[in-house]
Amino acid sequence: MSDTVTILGNVASDPLRNTTNRGDAVIRFRLASPNRWLDRSTGVWNEGETNWYDVSAFRQLAENVRSSLHSGDPVIVTGRLKVRKWEANGKSGTSVEIEADAIGHNLKHGASAFVKPHRAPAPEAGDRFAPPSDEDAPDAADAAAAWSVPADDASEDGSEDSTEETTASHAELLPT
């Protein structure tokens, strides 16, 4: 059984991306969660201790964090709490880690825009071929030529019009 926590704080270090031994994306950053409270009698904010957490996220969440968060951003992190004791170079200590299940901007402090990541459809079971890659896509100029409709050799009145070639380009319909 693991403890699930939700922490509000600020990203204290730019997220660093790495890869696990299995090839999964992992991202890590420090999270500062200051303890502040308003003294209603004076109207002054008081500063208490700041709790520090090492946050890690894996796979798609790691990629989304990488493109969304920066040092100083106010965030909400939900995940599994892990407290670890460590010793190194004659020193010992305790680290508090959160393996994140969800991370988002704290909208109490600003606005954010959600962008769903683009994912290529997975091949169906039994498909012989994977979806084509962007490298397989034709050049826009070649594709436009392939979609062009050549002019008739003769106009409606039977005379040839060699000065004007009529084509209907559909290049705007092709993906770029």
CATH number, position 48 = 2.40.50.140
Whether 37 is in a domain gets the answer yes
Q: Which long-range contacts (CB under 8 A, 24 or more apart) does 39-43 make?
A: none
Whether 132 is in a domain gets the answer no
Whether 21 is in a domain gets the answer yes
Predicted model pTM? 0.61
Q: What is the pLDDT of residue 165?
A: 40
Whether 91 is in a domain gets the answer yes
Q: Are 77 and 9 in contact (CB under 8 A)?
A: yes
Q: How far is CA 17 from CA 55, 67, 86, 138, 159, in A?
A: 12, 11, 23, 34, 68
* Number of domains comprising the chain: 1
Tell me which residue range forms the domain holding 46: 3-105
**Tokens 């039977």 map to which residue?**
158
Whether 52 is in a domain gets the answer yes
DSSP state letters, 15-68: -EEEE-TTS-EEEEEEEEEEEEEEETTTTEEEEEEEEEEEEEEEHHHHHHHHHH
Whether 80 is in a domain gets the answer yes
User: What pLDDT tens digit does each residue of the chain (176 aa) get?
Assistant: 568 999 999 999 999 999 999 999 999 999 999 998 888 999 998 999 999 999 999 999 999 999 899 999 999 999 999 999 989 999 999 999 999 999 999 999 888 888 887 766 666 666 555 555 555 555 555 544 544 444 444 444 444 444 444 333 344 444 44
Whether 152 is in a domain gets the answer no
